[in-house]
Amino acid sequence: MKIAVVGATGMVGHVMLKVLREQSIPITELILVASERSVGKVIDFGGMECTVVGLQTALEHAPDIALFSAGGSTSLEWAPKFAEKGTIVIDNSSVWRMDPTKKLVVPEINGGLLTGDERIIANPNCSTIQLVLALKPLHDAYTIKRVVVSTYQSISGTGVAAVQQMENERNAIKGEMAYPYTIDQNCLPHCDDFTENGYTKEEMKLTNETKKILDPSINVTATAVRVPVQGGHSEAVNIEFENDFDLSEVRRLLHEQNGIALKDDPTTNTYPMPLYAQGKDAVFVGRIRRDESQANTLNMWIVADNLRKGAATNAVQIAQLLIDKNLV
């Protein structure tokens, strides 16, 4: 199995390599790809030294699967070229997600849609993945009408420049700013660019991708906030159902959902936090309670490592599913 990782030297790329080492994918050739300034760099992969190459060189290798995490413009230009070679591209950017001809996949939810005919598969947004994984069993049981989500998103979702900005601020060092304001000891209600309707792109991703993955009839509204946490996205979620629910049944459904870890016991201060999620693949759910202001409505708190399940792990799980089903 020839696997390419495009964007191997970036934050998500590093985590992809870590997850690939942890999985049982039978890699016979690993092709590490990055920008021209990183070509020639040697990266250790479980004792195997791999030299970083450029996109054209990787294309000539004709990998079986290419995991892309190099930004939208790179994916838009190069993913079709790899697809033409017969490579299955699993893309972590946003450029293919809402394309009606491309599947937007969270393996635990809709991995069964994959047939092997796909050549470009979209990886959802990090905040969407953890949200829909928790919503899916509840939608199946009670039918979701509306979701109100407020996110508390790690700076690692922006990239290494944002991590450096916060480190500089905490050490009183002046440096490059990834954000328009200080992030240390601050919260920015501003994730990605603003759109014409006043929402940010991140907020609209949550809305549009949730509809595509789960059900277009679900109404979703979001507020996305960047917080001074280095790893792990958190979400406060309010869910209105068509039908009433039983809290113990809700907990059972979430506990039985593959990929969910339930942390929900206020008597012992047990609830999800980014500190628990870092380095883990599970999506953690807790603070489960009725919304006492409205019928058939639930509140809960969802946390996940945005670089793992929110990006790298989900992409690798798609690759593993394709291999397990002999679709590649």
H or E element, residue 205: helix 201-213
> What CA–CA distance (Å, rounded) separates 271 from 285?
7
CA distances from residue 226 to 165, 167, 200, 206, 249 in whole angstroms, order as listed: 13, 15, 12, 15, 33
Dihedral class, residue 185 (left if φ above 0, else alpha if ψ from -120 to 50, else beta): left
Sign of CA dihedral 210, 216, 264, 287: positive
> What CA–CA distance (Å, rounded) separates 88 from 103?
12
> What CA–CA distance (Å, rounded) separates 119 from 65?
9
Residue 249 CA, chain-centre distance (Å), reads 27
In this structure, what are the phi and psi dihedrals at residue 27, rounded to the nearest 5 degrees?
A: -85, 120
> What CA–CA distance (Å, rounded) separates 265 from 312?
30
Q: Which residues are catalytic?
A: 126, 233
DSSP string, 22-45: HS----SEEEEE--GGGTT-EEEE
Q: In this structure, are residues 88 and 119 in contact, taking their beta carbons and an 8 Å threshold? A: yes
In this structure, what are the phi and psi dihedrals at residue 194, rounded to the nearest 5 degrees?
A: -80, 145
> What CA–CA distance (Å, rounded) separates 297 from 9?
44
Nearest one of 325, 319, 326, 323 to 121, comparing CA atoms? 319
> What CA–CA distance (Å, rounded) separates 324 from 286?
32
